[in-house]
Amino acid sequence: MNKSPTEQETEYEKVHQSEHQSESNHQPIHTLNPSQKRLQQQLERQAKRIQKAEQERPTLMAQTVYLGMVGLLFVLPVIAGAYLGLWLDSQQTKDYSISWTISLIFVGVFVGGTNVYLFFNKAN
């Protein structure tokens, strides 16, 4: 059931003719209708946005520094309030008192929370 060389050539020509016909059915890019052009532009914009996001993705070190900054912005006012309150309590009375310490710790929590809020708003 071997085919002769001429039969193989005619089959080869038929296959290539059908390929050329199917290629001619596809519209070239420059002859797209308006909706197809909009779709193509949207896809290009999305691809660029994805590439930009991939390039700007923060590293592990950058994320660690960011979280460390947030922690310090909150904790430092609380600690400062506690030490200042302890010092004021020790200066004011001879007996044991923690009224300034507790009050200034709450002030430190408020100041720290405000710091973190402002930091997040500035970052975004």
Q: Is residue 28 very low, low, confident or very high in pLDDT (cuts 50, 70, 90)?
A: low
pLDDT tens per residue across span 86-101: 998 888 866 777 888 9
What token pair was written down for 42?
């949207």
Model pTM above 0.75: no
pLDDT recorded at residue 115: 95
* Residue 81 domain-assigned (yes or no): yes
Between 23-32, 43-52, 61-70, the lowest mean confidence (pLDDT) is in 23-32
Main-chain phi, psi angles of 58, to 5 degrees: -70, 145
In a domain, 5, yes or no: no
Q: Give domain status of residue 47, yes or no.
A: no
| Structure tokens, 4 | 């002769």
Domain presence at residue 116: yes
Q: How many domains does the chain have?
A: 1
Report yes or no on 87 lying in a domain: yes
Going by C-alpha positions, the residue among 109, 111, 115 that lies closest to residue 70 is 115
Q: Give yes or no for residue 27 having a pLDDT over 90.
A: no
What DSSP state is assigned to residue 95?
S
Phi-psi group of 29: left, alpha or beta (phi > 0 → left; psi -120 to 50 → alpha; rest → beta): alpha
> Residue 78: which H helix or E strand, with range?
helix 60-92
Domain holding 74, by residue range, is 64-91+102-123
